[in-house]
Amino acid sequence: MAMFTPSEAPAAFSPSPRVLLGPGPSEVPPRVLAAMGMPLLGHLDPEFVNLMDETQQLLRYVFQTKNRLTMAVSGTGSAGMEAVVVNLIEPGDPMLVCVNGVFGGRMVDVAERAGAKVSVIERPFGEVFDPDEVRDAIRRVRPKVVGIVHAETSTGAWQPIEDIARAAHEADALIAIDTVTSLGGVPVEIDGWDIDAVYSGTQKCLSCPPGLAPVSFGNRASDVIAQRKTKVQSWYLDMSMIQRYWGSDRFYHHTAPISMNYALREALAIVVEEGLESRIERHALNARALKAGLAAMGMRLVTDEQHALPQLTCIRIPDGIEDMPVRKRLLHDWGIEIGGGLGPLKGQAWRIGLMGHGSRQVYVTLLLAAMETCLRDLGLPIHAGAALAAASEVYTQDAASPV
């Protein structure tokens, strides 16, 4: 057992400055960080209850939904995934999961642990599903729930959803989608796409620290929860109880993470002030500039450009270049964090996030300059300044475009 005297007490922790350009967490605005330092309220204090109500309204805006059952689960994005699955699935229920990356695979694991009879269809990492192949699988499996990732964080793949949701409903199945990396960065239209259940995370395009998981359940999903024959596998994530805490009767369920809810409310307010459309356009512009700069250095996307997320770019590591030495130098010399590949892409790809507050021209140019320096020093034949010139051309064209 470690023993300390007062003189041996550790000094206050002071993290090194970082530019967070990986797959998450993203850069957090000072205003959101300041919100976390406000005095605590009790989790049933009338002022905190009012903040919860406001947060629900703000979440409905970013999800583009009128769903009553919309809230922030106390836990990270994976808790949101688990909350959706365990509330919709009872032991023995058939569930179809579409897997084209690590987080689709995680959904399979969660569903199996909940007792679902899981069927899987797969695409290689980086690819997306054709609606017809999903429709065929739905007809074959006849699932209660279809689960699919809208924005696959492990590959940067952006999955079209509308036709797949329609196919699920044609077979009287529910559709649940993962928007952990998409919410606030690309269009997410829960009511417009007729989505039954959705979960997300706070630490990506919402630019809030990790710790809460926005979720929303439509009427069909809410009815399924209300008509369950068995208890939800997880007491902590049981929506039949949690919704009473977030609802009008304020039934005590758990002590909410007060400071995290302050932060989420502030982050969502920033989204509203910018406007979803403007925020989405900003992510798209900076992604175009980044990808132009990477292409000028000869780097290729893992995902086809047509289905590549603007907020998370997954690129193949050039031949002859090792993963970790470059990432370590970026961190040591410039304080820049980018992510490595997951699954079969481990050691083969880099993941660059331009999410929320981190999607800015200054970070695009900083990263391209730093990466070009690293790769040129390792012997790649890159023309000096080519990456920055390509990115600058994108910004110049955008500035010259008629409004």
Regarding whether 313 and 360 lie in a shared domain, the answer is yes
Residue 4 has a pLDDT of 83
> How do residues 254-265 score in pLDDT, each as one tens digit?
889 999 999 999
Regarding whether 128 and 89 lie in a shared domain, the answer is yes
Mean predicted confidence (pLDDT) in 63-78: 97
**What mean pLDDT, rounded, does the chain reach?**
96
Q: Which of 230, 254, 273 is the last residue of a domain?
A: 273
What are the two backbone dihedrals, phi and then psi, of residue 158, each rounded to the nearest 5 degrees? -110, 110
Residue 3 inside a domain? The answer is no
**What is the CATH number for 192?**
3.40.640.10
Mean predicted confidence (pLDDT) in 42-68: 96
pLDDT score of 403 more than 60: no
Number of independent structural domains in the chain: 2
Left (φ > 0), alpha (ψ -120 to 50) or beta: where does 67 sit?
beta
Residue 255 has a pLDDT of 86
Nearest to 395 by CA among 288, 283, 300: 288
> Which residues lie across from 69 on neighbouring strands?
217
Residue 5 has a pLDDT of 86
Residue 1 has a pLDDT of 65
Residue 11 inside a domain? The answer is no
Q: Among 199-213, 244-258, 347-361, which is the least confidently predicted range?
A: 244-258
Q: How far apart are CA 284 and CA 271, in angstroms?
A: 16
Q: By residue range, what is the domain housing residue 382?
A: 276-400
Regarding whether 218 and 115 lie in a shared domain, the answer is yes
pTM of the model: 0.96
**Contact yes or no for 21/369 (Cβ under 8 A):** no
> How do residues 159-174 score in pLDDT, each as one tens digit?
999 999 999 999 999 9
Question: Residue 73: in which H helix or E strand, if any?
Answer: strand 69-74
Residue 214 has a pLDDT of 98
Regarding whether 323 and 211 lie in a shared domain, the answer is no
What are the two backbone dihedrals, phi and then psi, of residue 155, each rounded to the nearest 5 degrees? -135, -15
Nearest to 70 by CA among 397, 61, 78: 61
88-102 per-residue burial string, b: 16 or more CB within 10 A, e: under 16: bbbeebebbbbbbbb
pLDDT score of 144 more than 70: yes
pLDDT score of 352 more than 60: yes
> How do residues 291-347 score in pLDDT, each as one tens digit?
999 999 999 999 999 999 999 999 999 999 999 999 999 999 999 999 999 999 999
